[in-house]
């Protein structure tokens, strides 16, 4: 069953403009901090932001940064900015990071079924996930260990923002991908 779209706290053009200005400033801080560390960075544009407000369940992923490369046995640093524009608090949220070429897969059911088993899967936060209030921003970081013996090539990393349902089927709220090299 598809998740029902909740009402957003951004009701008017002025609300959207104000939210974008604040979001743009947060993403600029995220960009500056991580690009100064030599990391790659990706963020949504204004047009993507407005389209995402109409399309995805909130909270949503709005920017991310990552180490572009690491040797076998090394670490890829990955950080993500999530924001909640729903009118109510979201609880039992989790972020899952895994490796595998999953980005072009439209179905979330299929997207979440396979991954590169040589790499660990990372989840945040146990045991009950995390919560986000309306208009709240959250920065999250992961350290992805590169296994010894993997090929020196490019790999896709994936992040899934999920609403955990402990006694029923959970929901994939949003997702992102990043690309890194094992050198």
Instruction: Name the residue range of residue 19's domain.
Output: 13-182
How far is Cα 108 from Cα 119, in angstroms, rounded to an integer? Answer: 20
State the pLDDT at residue 156. 92
How far is Cα 47 from Cα 21, in angstroms, rounded to an integer? Answer: 13
* Residue 141 DSSP SS3: strand
Q: Comparing C-alpha atoms, which of 29, 19, 27, 30 is closest to residue 58?
A: 19
Asked whether residue 8 is domain-assigned, the answer is no
Q: Are 132 and 90 in contact (CB under 8 A)?
A: yes
* Residue 99 DSSP SS3: strand
How far is Cα 30 from Cα 36, in angstroms, rounded to an integer? Answer: 10
Q: Are 155 and 39 in contact (CB under 8 A)?
A: no
Residue 145: CATH number of its domain = 2.60.40.10
pTM listed for this prediction: 0.88
Asked whether residue 2 is domain-assigned, the answer is no
State the pLDDT at residue 113. 74
State the pLDDT at residue 10. 74
Q: Are 150 and 84 in contact (CB under 8 A)?
A: no
How far is Cα 85 from Cα 9, in angstroms, rounded to an integer? Answer: 6
Can you say how many angstroms the Cα of residue 177 is from the centroid of all Cα atoms in its chain?
A: 8
Asked whether residue 5 is domain-assigned, the answer is no
Asked whether residue 53 is domain-assigned, the answer is yes
State the pLDDT at residue 1. 42
Residue 112: count of CB within 10 angstroms of its CB: 18
Burial of 163 (0-12, 13-18, 19+ CB in 10 A): middle
Asked whether residue 136 is domain-assigned, the answer is yes
User: Total domain count for the chain?
Assistant: 1
Residue 175's Cβ-side half-sphere holds a number of Cα atoms within 13 Å equal to 22
State the pLDDT at residue 110. 66
State the pLDDT at residue 2. 46
Asked whether residue 154 is domain-assigned, the answer is yes
Asked whether residue 137 is domain-assigned, the answer is yes
State the pLDDT at residue 139. 94
Residue 16: count of CB within 10 angstroms of its CB: 17
Asked whether residue 4 is domain-assigned, the answer is no
State the pLDDT at residue 132. 94
Residues forming beta bridges with residue 41, ordered by sequence position: 65
Please list the rounded mean pLDDT of every run of 10 residues in the chain (183 residues).
57 88 94 94 95 81 97 97 91 92 68 83 84 93 96 94 90 92 97
């Amino acid at each position: 069953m598809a998740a029902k779209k909740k009402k957003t706290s951004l009701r008017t053009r002025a609300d959207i403009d104000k939210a974008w200005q604040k979001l743009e400033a947060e993403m600029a801080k995220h960009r500056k901090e991580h690009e100064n560390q030599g990391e790659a960075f990706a963020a949504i544009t204004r047009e993507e932001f407005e389209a995402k407000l109409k399309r995805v369940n909130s909270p949503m992923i709005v920017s991310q940064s990552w180490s572009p490369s690491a040797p076998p046995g090394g670490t890829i640093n990955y950080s993500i900015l999530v924001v909640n524009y729903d009118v109510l608090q979201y609880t039992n949220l989790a972020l899952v990071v895994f490796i595998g070429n999953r980005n072009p897969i439209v179905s979330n059911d299929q997207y979440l079924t396979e991954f590169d088993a040589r790499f660990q899967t990372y989840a945040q936060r146990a045991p009950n996930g995390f919560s986000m209030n309306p208009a709240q921003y959250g920065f999250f970081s992961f350290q992805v260990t590169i296994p010894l013996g993997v090929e020196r090539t490019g790999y896709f990393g994936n992040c899934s923002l999920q609403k955990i349902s402990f006694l029923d089927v959970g929901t994939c709220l949003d997702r992102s991908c990043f690309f890194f090299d094992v050198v």
